[in-house]
Homo-oligomer: A and B are copies of this chain.
């Protein structure tokens, strides 16, 4: 009997093959997009034939779901190291970390924030990681000086702060977190999709301009 905490050779082998499959899948997605991901092609790269992969994943959907989960995890970890190793919960630092993370692998970003496929519903644990990410944002927003008077949306979000999951941030901070999220995503999404190419201006400068404007008032 295998003792708890140890891994049998079979388990180690299985884990390693699973990891290798995911690695190839990541490469495919990075170069050709998630819609072009082919289990057959991955199997061929690994020197085995098609159906063998179904020993490791129940199907194409589970593989993609796993990659989505990893993407969420990676972003949450990135924020985590920024907060831990940097100067605490700094919204500007999180913003630049987010941008770097997105530019490092655009298709990974779109795995999370890209076009949704109508039928698909994300598993529960990804939403858990999403709220972990949101907590980093809320922490950073709570550190900022509060604005002058509470706006109409501040009052609205105060009545619907369930999504903040008990975070003690004041309503203006909740509002600012949502603003941060949507504004950074707006620029990044358009930039990564190439909608700025050929326009001539520097997307990085637009990003920091928007960030400064968000932090200013």
Contacts from A to B (Cβ < 8 Å): 31-36, 107, 110, 113-119, 127, 130, 151-153, 156-157, 160-163, 175, 178-179, 181-187, 189-190, 192-195, 198-202, 205-206, 208-210, 212-213
Contact = CB atoms under 8 A, between A and B. Distances in A.
Majority SS at the chain A contact face? helix
Contacts of A181: 186, 190
Nearest to A192: B116
A26 to B, nearest CB: 14
Contacts of A152: 205, 209
Candidate in A116, A157, A190, A205 with the most chain B CB atoms within 10 angstroms: A116
B194 A153 contact: no
Contacts of A190: 113, 181-182, 185
A169 to B, nearest CB: 14
A125 to B, nearest CB: 15
12 contacts: A33-B117, A33-B118, A107-B115, A114-B193, A151-B209, A153-B208, A163-B200, A178-B201, A179-B210, A182-B183, A182-B187, A183-B183
Nearest to A189: B189
Given A182-B210, A183-B182, A189-B189, A156 B35 contact: no
Contacts of A200: 160-163
A184 B198 CA distance: 21
B115 A32 contact: no
A76 to B, nearest CB: 15
Contacts of A107: 115, 118
Nearest to A175: B209
B113 A193 contact: yes
A202 B157 CA distance: 8
Contact of A202 (B156, B183, B187, B195): B156
